[in-house]
């Protein structure tokens, strides 16, 4: 059996299903290009039948991909499979991925008997294989499926022509010993198992997704399904960076390898965090801000004497630079371009000019601009088609309330102004935005953290809004926390508008509209 493990990235499909993580068409193509460049074997680009936008994104990624297999997801019916094939067929290496829930709980949803489900699996995998040479079949909720039925369905899928058999732990229920044993037993007992690749797809509900995935590899799986930063529904999916680095660092006990270029991990982690609106927790393994930070005196002493004392991998292994170059107001364009390149941002001249102006503005407000500041600055370079833009904001706050906010917004090209009060400067600023652009969105999340140390540090703010089941997350950074908060709120609102217009008939924007302040 080969010691090569295929990396199947589903950031753009399963990862994007995380509430509020919806990406734009351009962002999906950008992330796919980065995955393709870093050596990911298979990119699950989306769920083509879900919407016209999903179809267009999968088709665009399929046409642009240079190296990776491009996969689309489909339910177990001919309509889904045909739509999936239409989206992926232009890829150099296309794949159809079809699935059905096999556990008792999932069988009850379509109300199928075991025999009816077995027949559907055979028909759908056969249909997919008649369209595409590379077909993956998944037994959703496999880890809670009766053994005899799971074995039966796997054998049916193999006989029908599936080339990859995926065994998902859909609800994060299993444990490492079970994960390994299940794969091992399927390979040993299923007829035709030696002719296919077995895959594992784990969720992190009990915090064991990475452990379960690696255990499945020990059991014989040779494809790991994962996402950047572990992005995904509920507690997320297996994190790509964790399994890839675990295989690299512990090759002594796990003699397997992937072809992922680990030096590109940090750049794509930051990019996915930005476009998804889901910041990486500070203590996140591999890519968290504190992953290579040492504060304990004992740890620092050990690091100074020998880095291997408390570091099992080098920062450069995942794309971090050895030194954190501090830049300031005297730094030029060449230095900025070089530093951004090290951080994974390759900019055209016009893009650099725009960022350079904002870099100088930031440098005038801060004595020192660190790498983290530049990453936060680049987040401001991400633009949805903004209907709302902040032109100016003035707040009055203190111990004597109520606090007030005077705001000027540009809405659909027209400047509007308002003055409102609230319970604190942020609340008053948010009220001012709503006074000019009325909406029914509910604030689900408001989160602030400092990018660097010091009283002049930039604050990075995340805001999540929900309206009628649609969720959007916005981010922004500024040395003024209230300004950062207001920009993040507006960013989320702009994204919510885009989502609403894409899903509403005839681009109906009922429920979200701006008020003329003079009315």
Please spell the DSSP secondary structure of 141-195, one letter per residue: TGGGS-HHHHHHHHHHHHHHT-SEEEEEETTS---HHHHHHHHHHHHHHSTTGGG
Query: 314 and 329: one domain?
Result: no
The reply to whether 236 falls in a domain is: yes
| 201 annotated ligand-binding residue | yes
The reply to whether 283 falls in a domain is: no
| 513 annotated ligand-binding residue | no
Give tens-digit pLDDT for 209-220: 999 999 999 999
Query: 475 and 489: one domain?
Result: yes
The reply to whether 285 falls in a domain is: no
Q: How confident is the model at residue 516 (pLDDT cuts 50, 70, 90)?
A: very low
Give tens-digit pLDDT for 341-399: 877 788 888 888 888 888 888 888 776 787 778 877 776 655 556 889 999 999 998 88
Query: 315 and 330: one domain?
Result: no
CATH number for position 154: 3.20.20.70
- pLDDT for position 131: 98
51 has pLDDT over 50: yes
| 237 annotated ligand-binding residue | yes
Give tens-digit pLDDT for 75-95: 999 999 999 999 999 999 999
- pLDDT for position 518: 31
Lowest mean pLDDT among 112-121, 429-438, 467-476: 467-476
The DSSP string of 202-237 is EB-TTS-HHHHHHHHHHHT--EEEEBGGG--STT-B
The DSSP string of 249-267 is HTTTTS--B----GGGHHH
Q: What is the pTM of this model?
A: 0.81
Give tens-digit pLDDT for 483-497: 999 999 999 999 888
Q: Where are the beta strands (DSSP E) in 423-488?
A: 437-438, 442-450, 459-467, 470-478
503 has pLDDT over 70: no
476 CB neighbour count, 10 Å cutoff: 25
Query: 162 and 41: one domain?
Result: yes
Distance CA 224, CA 202 (A): 9
- pLDDT for position 422: 93
Query: 170 and 234: one domain?
Result: yes
Q: For residue 81, what is the DSSP state?
A: H
- pLDDT for position 142: 97
Residue span of the structural domain in which 131 resides? 6-276
Distance CA 440, CA 420 (A): 18
| 507 annotated ligand-binding residue | no
Residues paired with residue 165 on neighbouring β-strands, in sequence order: 137, 198
For 104, residues 6+ apart whose C-beta sits below 8 A from its C-beta are 144, 145, 146
The DSSP string of 379-420 is HTT-----SEEEEEEEEE-SSSS-EEEEEEEEETTEEEEEEE
- pLDDT for position 222: 98
The reply to whether 519 falls in a domain is: no
- pLDDT for position 510: 39
Query: 205 and 154: one domain?
Result: yes
Query: 18 and 128: one domain?
Result: yes
């Amino acid at each position: 059996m080969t010691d090569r493990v295929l990396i199947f990235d589903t950031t753009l499909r399963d990862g994007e299903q995380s509430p509020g993580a919806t990406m734009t068409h351009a962002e999906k193509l950008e992330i796919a290009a980065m995955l393709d460049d870093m050596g990911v074997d298979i990119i699950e680009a989306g769920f083509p039948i879900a919407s016209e936008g999903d179809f267009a994104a999968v088709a665009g990624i399929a046409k642009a991909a240079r190296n990776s297999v491009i996969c689309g997801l489909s339910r177990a019916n001919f309509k889904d499979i045909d739509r999936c094939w239409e989206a992926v067929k232009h890829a150099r290496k296309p794949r159809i991925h079809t699935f059905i829930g096999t556990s008792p709980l999932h069988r009850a949803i379509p109300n199928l008997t075991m025999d009816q489900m077995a027949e559907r699996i055979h028909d759908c995998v056969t249909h997919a294989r008649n369209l595409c040479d590379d077909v993956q079949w998944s037994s959703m909720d496999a880890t809670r499926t009766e053994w005899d039925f799971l074995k039966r369905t796997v054998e049916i899928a193999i006989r029908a022509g599936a080339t990859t058999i995926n065994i998902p732990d859909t609800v994060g229920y299993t444990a490492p010993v079970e994960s390994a044993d299940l794969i091992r037993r399927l390979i040993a007992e299923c007829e035709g198992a030696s002719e296919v690749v077995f895959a594992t797809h784990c969720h992190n509900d009990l915090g064991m997704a990475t452990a379960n995935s690696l255990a499945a590899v020990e059991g014989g799986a040779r494809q790991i399904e994962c996402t950047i930063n572990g992005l995904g529904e509920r507690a997320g999916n297996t994190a790509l960076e964790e399994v890839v680095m675990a295989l690299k660092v512990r090759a002594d006990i796990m003699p397997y390898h992937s072809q992922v270029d680990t030096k590109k991990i940090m750049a794509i982690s930051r990019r996915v965090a930005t476009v998804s609106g889901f910041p990486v927790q500070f203590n996140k393994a591999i890519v968290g801000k504190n992953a290579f930070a040492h504060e304990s005196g004992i740890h620092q002493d050990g690091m100074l004497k020998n880095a291997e004392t408390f570091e099992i991998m080098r920062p450069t292994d995942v794309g971090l630079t050895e030194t954190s170059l501090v830049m300031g107001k005297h730094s030029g364009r060449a230095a900025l371009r070089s530093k951004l390149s090290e951080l994974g941002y390759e900019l055209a001249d016009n893009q650099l000019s725009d960022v350079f102006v904002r870099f100088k503005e930031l440098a005038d407000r801060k004595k020192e601009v660190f790498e983290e500041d530049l990453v936060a600055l680049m987040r401001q370079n991400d633009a949805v088609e903004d209907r709302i833009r902040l032109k100016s904001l003035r707040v009055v706050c203190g111990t004597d309330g109520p606090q007030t906010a005077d705001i000027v917004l540009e809405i659909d090209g027209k400047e509007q102004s308002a003055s409102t009060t609230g319970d604190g400067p942020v609340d008053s600023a948010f009220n001012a935005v709503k006074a000019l652009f009325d909406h029914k969105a509910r604030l689900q999340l408001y989160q602030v953290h400092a990018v660097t140390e010091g009283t002049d540090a930039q604050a990075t703010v995340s805001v999540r809004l929900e309206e009628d089941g649609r969720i959007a997350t916005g981010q922004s950074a500024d040395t003024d926390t209230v300004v950062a908060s207001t920009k993040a709120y507006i960013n989320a609102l702009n994204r919510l508008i885009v989502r609403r217009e894409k899903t509403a008939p005839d681009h109906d924007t009922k429920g979200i509209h701006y008020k003329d302040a003079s009315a």
